[in-house]
Amino acid sequence: MKQLKIIKIGGGIIDDATSLAQFLQLFARVEGPKILVHGGGKGASEMLRALGIAPQLVNGRRITDAATLEIVTMFYAGKTNKAIVADLQRNRVNALGISGVDGNLIRAVKRPVREINYGFVGDLKPSGVNAALLEDFLGLGLTPVICAITHDGQGQLLNTNADTIAATVAIALSKQFAVELHYCFEKNGVLLDVNDDNSVIGTINLASYAELKEAGIIAEGMIPKLDNSFDALSQGVSKVIIGHALKIGDSLKTVLCLN
């Protein structure tokens, strides 16, 4: 089965132009078929504040009202996506910037209101991913660059967690490829001590993950990342790796496994 790497970039790397450029140079050197998934970093929140809109995050996920949706759509699908694609073209990667709306790539369902009303936020299922379209792009030698905007098929845009998009796309393509899913950010991996960048937890399985959450070592934004990772592993993804965006292939990283 052909190998495919799906790499999600986020965190402080997106916010720093120099670091992002260095990451994209490394990404360009990754051999074989590959897909890049990105969020928007802190830039969207900064733009919201500049417009007098207070960003709201709960458990690492953004609450998206109508005004926020307009801003994040412009920022993720416009400014951030096209800047990344332009830089990849400079690095001789024939990248194609795309949202979940384009080509009906990713159809989502608006998250139901339970304890928290997340607003215009999309929840995903692998069946909502147009895997055939991505296979066609890859077959043409294109590298899809997917941003965190999806749709519901009824004309409604939805803000969707980029970690979730990466995992869901990985699951959808795992029937045709041996998929490695990489989460890349500004840390060396999942840390035992957030103040010590070298305290990387080398391996995490489902049992140790539960213990680390209970102890509060894994919390906030890292929880949805790991939830998505284990979901991907349980549904056919070959490997999930969490590590520093500027150290792709480095031995200092966290590898996730089910057992």
The answer to whether 10 is annotated as binding is no
Q: Is 130 annotated as a binding residue?
A: no
Token pair for 51 = 């417009």
The dihedral over CA atoms of 160, 44, 246, 28, expressed in degrees to the nearest 10, equals: 70
Q: Is 61 annotated as a binding residue?
A: no
CA–CA dist 144, 34 (Å, integer): 8
58, β-bridge pairs: 61
Buried-state track 105-125, b at ≥16 Cβ within 10 A, e below 16? bbbbeebeeeeeebbbbbbbe
- Work out whether strand 61-62 and strand 143-146 pair parallel, antiparallel, or are unpaired: unpaired
**CA dist., res. 231 & res. 114, Å (int):** 22
Measure the CA–CA gap between 208 and 10, rounded to whole angstroms: 25
The annotation status of 155 as a binding-site residue, yes or no, is no
- Tokens at 133, concatenated: 């379209």
Q: How many CB atoms lie within 10 A of CB 93?
A: 21
Neighbours of 11 (CB within 10 A): 21
Q: Which residues are annotated as a binding site for substrate?
A: 40-41, 62, 159
Q: Which residues are annotated as a binding site?
A: 40-41, 62, 159
